[in-house]
Structure 1
Amino acid sequence: MSQSELHYLEAREVARLIATRALSSVEVTTAMLERIEKLDPTLHSYALVMRDEALASAREADRKLLAGGATGPLFGVPIAVKDLYWCAGSPTAAGTTIFRDFVPTEDATAVKRLRDAGAIVLGKLQLTEGAFATHHPEIAEPVNPWHPGHWAGASSSGSGVATAAGLCYASLGTDTGGSIRFPSAANGLTGIKPTWGRVSRHGIFALGASLDHAGPMARSAADASLLLGVIAGHDPLDPTSLPDASLALPDDAHDLCGPRFGVDPEWNSNGVDRVIVRALAQVVEVVKSLGGEVREVRFPEVRTVVDEWQVNCGVEVAVAHADTWPRLAAHYGPALTRLIEIGRETSGMAYQQVLLNRAALRGKINRLMSGIDLLIVPVQPFAAPTHEQLGALAQDPELNARLIQFTAPFNSSGHPVITLPCGLTEDGLPIGFQLVAAHGAEALLCRAGMAYQKASEWHKLHPVL
Structure 2
Amino acid sequence: MTTSHATNEPPAGPAVSGDSEVHYAGLLEVAARIRDRELTPVELTEALLARIEQIDPTVGGYATVTADTAITQARTAEADMQAGRYRGPLHGVPIAVKDNIFTAGVVTAAGSTIHSDHVPSYDSTVVQRLAEAGAILLGKLQLTEGAFAEHHSSVTPPRNPWNPGYWSGASSSGSGVAVAAGLGFGALGTDTGGSIRYPSAANGVTGIKPTWGRVSRHGVFALAASLDHVGPMARSAADAGAILGAIAGADPRDPTAQAVPVPDYLAGLDASVGDLRVGVDRSYNETGVDSETIRMLDEVVAVLRHMGVTIVEVTLAGATAINALWPRYAGVETALAHHETFPSRASEYNPVDTPGSIAGLIALGHTVSGTELMRAHHQRLAFTSGLTHTMRDVDVLLVPVQPTTSLTLAQKDSLYADAEALTDFLRFVTPFDMSGNPTITLPGGFGEDGMPLGFQFAGRAFDEELLIRLGDAYQRETDWHLRHPEL
Q: Taking structure 2 as the reference length, what is the TM-score of the superposition?
A: 0.94
1:51 partner letter = A
Distance 1:336 1:393 in 2: 16
Does 2:414 match 1:392?
A: yes
1:152 partner letter = S
Instruction: Spell out the pairing of 1:37-186 with structure 2 (5 A cutoff).
Output: 37-186=53-202
Partner of 2:425: 403
Distance 1:434 1:71 in 2: 31
* Matching residue within 230, 234, 249 for 1:218: 234
SS at match of 2:458: strand
Does 2:20 match 1:4?
A: yes
SS at match of 1:155: coil
**1:256/1:287 contact within 8 Å kept:** no
> Which has the larger displacement, 408-417 or 240-249?
240-249
> Which has the larger displacement, 238-247 or 390-399?
390-399
Distance 2:276 2:86 in 1: 37
Residues 14-67 of structure 1: CA deviation (Å, up to 9, x unaligned): 111112211111110011011011111110100000011111111111122222
Partner of 1:340: 362
Distance 1:386 1:353 in 2: 37
Instruction: Spell out the pairing of 1:352-367 with structure 2 (5 A cutoff).
Output: 352-367=374-389
Distance 1:246 1:275 in 2: 37
Distance 2:77 2:246 in 1: 18
Does 2:296 match 1:279?
A: yes
* Matching residue within 330, 344, 347 for 1:330: 347
Change in CA separation of 1:130 and 1:3 when aligned onto 2, cut-off 3 Å? farther
* Matching residue within 221, 225, 229 for 1:205: 221
SS at match of 2:21: helix
* Matching residue within 249, 253, 259 for 2:276: 259
Deviation of the 1:464 alpha carbon? 1.5
Residues 387-420 of structure 1: CA deviation (Å, up to 9, x unaligned): 1111133332211112111000000011110111
Residues 322-364 of structure 1: CA deviation (Å, up to 9, x unaligned): 1111111000013111011011121111111111111111111
Partner of 2:8: none
Partner of 1:188: 204
Distance 2:270 2:240 in 1: 14
1:458 partner letter = W
Partner of 2:287: 270
2:441 partner letter = T
- Structure 1: 4+ residue segments shifted above 4 A: none
1:270 partner letter = T
Query: How big is the alpha-carbon RMSD for the aligned residues of Structure 1 and Structure 2?
Result: 1.1
Distance 1:211 1:68 in 2: 41
Deviation of the 1:104 alpha carbon? 0.7
Q: Structure 2: any 5+ residue segments left out of the alignment?
A: 1-14, 352-356
1:435 partner letter = F
Distance 1:127 1:409 in 2: 22
2:374 partner letter = Q
Residues 62-97 of structure 1: CA deviation (Å, up to 9, x unaligned): 122222234332111000000011111100000001
Deviation of the 1:248 alpha carbon? 3.2
Partner of 1:229: 245
Deviation of the 1:254 alpha carbon? 6.2
**1:188/1:421 contact within 8 Å kept:** yes
Deviation of the 1:101 alpha carbon? 0.6
* Matching residue within 466, 471, 477 for 1:444: 466
Deviation of the 1:245 alpha carbon? 4.1
Percent of pairs identical after alignment?
A: 50
Deviation of the 1:303 alpha carbon? 2.5
Distance 2:238 2:338 in 1: 37
Does 2:475 match 1:453?
A: yes
SS at match of 1:326: coil
Residues 218-249 of structure 1: CA deviation (Å, up to 9, x unaligned): 00011011111111111111000111242332
Q: Structure 1: any 5+ residue segments left out of the alignment?
A: none
Does 2:310 match 1:293?
A: yes
Q: Taking structure 1 as the reference length, what is the TM-score of the superposition?
A: 0.98
Length, aligned pairs only: 465
Change in CA separation of 1:3 and 1:93 when aligned onto 2, cut-off 3 Å? farther
Partner of 1:462: 484
2:190 partner letter = T
Does 2:338 match 1:321?
A: yes
Distance 1:255 1:200 in 2: 31
Distance 1:238 1:262 in 2: 33
SS at match of 1:330: helix
